Each structure stands twice: as C-alpha cells, then as structure tokens.
Amino acid sequence: MNKDWTLYTEDDTIHTLATTIPNRKCKFRALLISDAHFDSVSCDRGLLKSHLDQAQKINAPVFHFGDWFDMMQGKDDPRGSKNKVRDRFKAADYFTQVVEESAEFLSQYDNLALWGYGNHETSVMRRHEIDPLMMLKASMAGKGSDLNIGGYQGFVTVRANLRAKVYLTKAIHYFHGAAGGGHVSGGMPENSKTRSAFEADLYYAGHQHNRSMDDRIITKLNSRGRAIVRSQKISLRGSTYKQEAGKLGWFVEKGMVARPQGGWWVDFSVTSGTPGTKEEILSMSPVMA
C-alpha cells in the first residue's frame, strides 16, 4: 500500500491527486464517500469514524462529495423537528455550533483530500447567505488543519508516477446528485445521463442514499483509426451515514426504507493492458466501505 499523495488545486472544481505506484504489488487506496449528514441525530457517527480511522491508518485520501452537513434544525427551516436536535445545537448560534462541532471532529484527521457541496449546504447558502463549507474550512484552519473545498460537481485526476517520467492517469468525475429516489432503478438512469455529458473513467454520485456500482466498457478506434481500444467506465453511487428507518416520522411515512451505510474504497494499481504488448494501465477496483 502506498501512503504518499498530494492534492493539487487547479481551480475550484479541478484537482489532481498525485501519488507514486512503484511496482505492481503496490496499491493506492482512496476513500470516496458522501452524505454523512454529520450533525443529524440519525448520523451513524461510529461507522463514519471507523471508516475515517481506517483511512487515516493507511493514509488513504478521503473525498466527501456533498451533504457533510444536515443543517435542517435552524429555527426557520420547515424540515426541522424538535426531537431531532442534538443538545449542543439547542443554541442561539445554531449554525456556528454545527460547524464548530464538525471542525473539532475533522481536525483529528490529516488525510482529508476534498470536501464538495451537496444540496444541504447550498440550501443553507440560499436561505441564510452563509457558506457552511467555507465556515468549516476557516474553523479547521484555526485549529491548524487544512480542508480543500471543491464544487457541487468537478473533476479529480489521479496521477500515478510509476518511474522516471512515466505516469498513468485516471479521471474521476464527481457530482453530489440531483434526482431523488433511485430505490428501484439504483440510480442507473442518472449514471447514463452523467456518462453522456462528462468524459471520465470513474464517476461518483451520492444524494440518493443508496449504493450501487455500474461497470461499463466503451469500445472505440484508436487515434490513428487502425485498432480497437476499450476503456472502462465505472459509476459508483455512495450511500449515506444516516440511519433513518424506524417507527414513525417523515422518512417512514413517505414509504422510505432502511438504506445501506457508507461509500466506496477504490484501489488503484498497475496492471497489464492489451495482451501481447507491454502496455501498462492504471486499474481501478472499488470495494464497499
């Protein structure tokens, strides 16, 4: 397992994750998650912490693609519910307390790569004219920790250095998500829509609070028009850390059911490409987290 990596910011929605993979026995692992809803009483903080602890132990970069915050218990939020407020947040400075608690929790980790926006963050931006992720970044900076903030969607290039002047790359496209549901479809229609609009090797979406993998091969001619080349496109949908199923409440009454918890580990390694050639490719192997 390789433990060295650096995240470079090209702009708000374009980042490069640079690492080295010196031999074929070496793997590089990243954690891709979303929808922690950390301040919600329904967040399974024990599971979330165990995933972040495992990632820190092997220095795997952690990506969180939207809905880190739940933030539905502000006094003017119609989605709020009196029995769903953590004691610490029963305060006049609700948003400050929510952000501060997350900053305290996340500052213990030195392997956080990128935090993107979800609809729960943008909803707060619209209603209250504050940016919770930028507040989180500032609060963590005050504790000596850095947090890179991405977009609601964007790209991350994984660039692996094999040896002198030899690099392999894979492009990740992330999108928090738009359509609700996905219980029957598993988010496949949304994956198809994303693949038709964005060119990448690995796609991550969250938001639907369901987990799935959709593995496709694209066949095309090479740049000289003389040979067939095939490329893999993997769409990952990460679920949530919320545990909402129960006896009563909005979630139950809307006909929603228990969801999986967690997201995906992705292992990057160097393998052989086209048989009969010396081609090397960067392989991606997702594992449920």
Q: In this complex, which beta carbon is closest to Fe ion, that of residue 61 or of residue 118?
A: 118
- 216 with 209: CB under 8 angstroms? no
- 63 with 32: CB under 8 angstroms? yes
Binding status of residue 201 toward Fe ion by CB under 5 A: no
Site for Fe ion in 220-279 (CB under 5 A): none
Binding status of residue 70 toward Fe ion by CB under 5 A: no
Nearest distance in Å: CB 114, Fe ion:
17
Nearest distance in Å: CB 161, Fe ion:
35
- Residue from 137, 173, 207, 237 in contact with Fe ion (CB under 5 A): 207
Q: In this complex, which beta carbon is closest to Fe ion, that of residue 61 or of residue 116?
A: 116
Q: In this complex, which beta carbon is closest to Fe ion, that of residue 121 or of residue 201?
A: 121
Nearest distance in Å: CB 37, Fe ion:
6
CA geometry: angle at 268 spanning 231 and 6, to 5°? 120
- Residue from 2, 17, 33, 35 in contact with Fe ion (CB under 5 A): 35
CA 235 to chain centroid: 12
Binding status of residue 67 toward Fe ion by CB under 5 A: yes
Query: Which one of 48-56, 73-81, 118-126, 224-232 is the stretch in contact with Fe ion (CB under 5 A)?
Result: 118-126
Cβ neighbours for 203, distance < 8 A, ≥ 6 positions apart = 172, 173, 174, 175, 191, 194, 195, 233, 234, 235, 236
Nearest-angstrom CA–CA distance, 34 and 118: 9
- Residue from 118, 150, 151, 182 in contact with Fe ion (CB under 5 A): 118
Burial class (CB in 10 A: 0-12, 13-18, 19+), 16: middle
Q: Other CB atoms closer than 10 Å to residue 87's CB: what's the count?
A: 6
What single letter denotes the amino acid at residue 109?
Answer: Y
Q: In this complex, which beta carbon is closest to Fe ion, that of residue 118 or of residue 262?
A: 118
Q: What is the x/- site pattern for Fe ion, positions 119-138, by CB under 5 A? A: x-------------------
Nearest distance in Å: CB 178, Fe ion:
9
If phi > 0 it is left, if psi is from -120 to 50 it is alpha, else beta; for residue 129 that is left
Interface positions with Fe ion (CB under 5 A): 35, 67, 118-119, 207
